[in-house]
Amino acid sequence: MSKTRAILAAVVGLLVAAQFIPVGRKNPAGGSEISAPAEVAAILERSCYDCHSNRTKWPWYGRVAPVSWLLAHDVSEARERLNFSRWGEYAAKERVDLAEEAVEEVEKGAMPMKIYLLVHRGARVSASELELLRAWAEGVRGAMGDREAR
């Protein structure tokens, strides 16, 4: 067997073996879902929930290593940072901060992540949808009261 074939066989063998390493792809039960206007909820569900909620729709390629590892890691980190399924568990000030930060990330083009948009083109947030998100974030601040939020 040539050196190239041996290397190729080793790589294929490692990829096959990698499929047997378990990856956590769980959607925890419970929580306190976000209460937002229907238009805003629809944007969040379409563009954010796959990573930032307990209602992740795990795609078929999320079962193939090493992509499964990256996907599980990214979702875990995203949920740790902001989890819309736990929205009601956040303190009022934290909800204000998270809503404003979420809008800022969309404004900067950092969210949804570009790699996510490659496969989920419908997750892109339009300018008019961004305006709805801005108004929602202001409403979150207003619900708490401007004096307390600062």
In-domain check, residue 73? yes
In-domain check, residue 104? yes
Per-residue confidence (pLDDT) for residue 10, from 0 to 100: 73
In-domain check, residue 35? yes
In-domain check, residue 95? yes
Global pTM reads 0.80
| Structural domain containing residue 128 | 23-149
In-domain check, residue 4? no
CA dihedral 57, 119, 38, 148 (to 10 degrees): 90
Domain count, the chain: 1
Per-residue confidence (pLDDT) for residue 49, from 0 to 100: 96
Report the 10 Å Cβ neighbour count for 13.
Answer: 10
Distances (CA, A) of 78 to 35, 58, 75, 98, 111: 20, 14, 5, 12, 11
In-domain check, residue 13? no
In-domain check, residue 18? no
In-domain check, residue 87? yes
CA–CA separation, 116 vs 20, rounded Å?
A: 25
Rounded mean pLDDT for each run of 10 residues along the chain, 150 residues in total: 81 67 74 88 97 92 84 94 95 96 97 94 97 97 66
